[in-house]
Amino acid sequence: MKIGILGAGQLARMLAEAGIPAGHEFVFLDPAESPSAARLGHHLRAPWQDADALQVLANCDRITCDFENVPAEVLALLSESVTVRPSARAFEVAQDRWIEKQQFEALGLATPAYRAVESRPELIEAVEALALPAVLKTRRMGYDGKGQFVIHQFEDLELAWQQLGGKPLILEQWVDFDHEAAITAVRSCDGDIRYYPLSTTCHRGGILRLARAGQGQSQLQQAAEHAMHKLMDELDYIGCMTLELFVVGDTLMANEFAPRAHNSAHWTIEAVPSSQFDNHLRAVCDWPLGNTALNGHALMVNFIGHMPEPERWLRIPGLHWHDYNKSARPGRKVGHATLTAPDAPTLNQRMADLQPLLDHDLRSMMQNLP
């Protein structure tokens, strides 16, 4: 099939890497000059609303997205002439943290306490209602920790307001979680859902750094699948989705969901028969879904800002290297590596071999992974 993707970043690139062997062709719309996926298909370099570019996309068999801040109205417009998956509605909910949290609540999913904030007095009221620490976030266009300010004490309020005020905001109670986790699942057009095993995730500065799969506790897995099932059915969702979670004791709180492939499930490329990218395309194209069972154990390490030299990394058995061919820039995701192993002791040994190649911060995060 000819598949149009809004966005040509690394997620689009990995979708194309999964789809080309299956015979698909790709057209990417992305205003960037030379985005990561460009060399794997036809790159339309134009703004999201560009009429000529949208005409080209309207002639594809399917449309999907590699990032969630695509204007929902562009998706709605495209869906008048071509099948768009997931639907514009999933994006409308995911793009606004307040609507997203209301959706979680309506489905009975636990989520951090929150208040919408539009003015200084509302911020003061919200802080009084939720208590500190709390995190102030822009309702829209936030990702990888951007558009967030953690308020530790009342004196931080003014700085928080100076940095984020003027836009619709949300104040969230700070959750003292034991760790973070994410579940990815795929839903087909006839409502079949396949779940991947939970990843344990680790963030710094709001950016995902590590994800480990294979340590699954069945009780948390079941609770995560239950939440995902409710959300996917409610949105009549088609494709892959990831739900990011805070784990507190043996309970889960929904943080946010992504209506697309997700960084916390990149290990599915090597550690699962049908990766998140393969299954997303299967769902989008009405093909039967593939096997999501984990073969052994896996750990993914993100490369943020710059790519390390691959030589020493690639000496470790089970190490898989992904360079997104993006230019180096602080805070930018430029690649990742996935370490796979048949069992936990072997993965732990391989992680120990990896330790000397990591900076201090990553090393301590890895040592503290649950």
Binding residues for ligand AMP, per CB under 6 A?
A: 112, 135, 142, 145, 172, 174-175, 180, 203, 206, 244, 255-256
Closer to ligand AMP at the Cβ: 130 or 269?
A: 130
Closer to ligand AMP at the Cβ: 149 or 267?
A: 149
The least distance separating ligand AMP from the CB of residue 262, rounded to whole angstroms, comes to 11
Closer to ligand AMP at the Cβ: 82 or 175?
A: 175
Instruction: Give the N- to C-terminal CA distance of the chain in Å, as an integer.
Output: 42
Burial 8-47 (b: 16+ CB within 10 A, else e): bbbbbbbbbbbbeeeebbbbbbbeeeebbbbebbebbbee
Assigned token pair, 313 = 């990394």
**Structural contact between residues 262 and 234, judged by C-beta atoms closer than 8 angstroms:** no
Closer to ligand AMP at the Cβ: 181 or 281?
A: 181
Closer to ligand AMP at the Cβ: 172 or 278?
A: 172
How far is CA 120 from each of CA 3, 124, 134, 147, 157, rounded to the nearest angstrom?
46, 6, 15, 17, 9
Here the contacts of 19-27 (C-beta below 8 Å, separation 24 or greater) are 19/277, 19/278, 19/281, 22/278, 22/281, 24/281, 24/285, 25/1, 26/2, 27/2, 27/3, 27/56, 27/57, 27/60
Distance CA 337, CA 365 (A): 16
The least distance separating ligand AMP from the CB of residue 67, rounded to whole angstroms, comes to 14
The least distance separating ligand AMP from the CB of residue 142, rounded to whole angstroms, comes to 6
The least distance separating ligand AMP from the CB of residue 25, rounded to whole angstroms, comes to 33
Closer to ligand AMP at the Cβ: 113 or 289?
A: 113
Tell me how far the alpha carbon of residue 239 is from its chain's centroid. 13
Closer to ligand AMP at the Cβ: 174 or 287?
A: 174
Residue whose tokens read 């953690």: 150
Paired with 198 in beta bridges are none
Closer to ligand AMP at the Cβ: 30 or 244?
A: 244
The least distance separating ligand AMP from the CB of residue 287, rounded to whole angstroms, comes to 31
Amino acid identity of 129? A
The least distance separating ligand AMP from the CB of residue 253, rounded to whole angstroms, comes to 9
Counting DSSP H helices and E strands in the chain, the numbers are: 13, 18
Closer to ligand AMP at the Cβ: 348 or 367?
A: 367
Residue whose tokens read 């391989």: 350
Assigned token pair, 248 = 């507190």
Tell me how far the alpha carbon of residue 368 is from its chain's centroid. 22
The least distance separating ligand AMP from the CB of residue 134, rounded to whole angstroms, comes to 8
The tally of CA atoms less than 13 A away on the side-chain side of residue 83 is 14
The least distance separating ligand AMP from the CB of residue 179, rounded to whole angstroms, comes to 10
Distance CA 118, CA 135 (A): 15
Distance CA 368, CA 252 (A): 20
Distance CA 173, CA 175 (A): 6
The least distance separating ligand AMP from the CB of residue 229, rounded to whole angstroms, comes to 21
Closer to ligand AMP at the Cβ: 145 or 308?
A: 145
The least distance separating ligand AMP from the CB of residue 329, rounded to whole angstroms, comes to 19
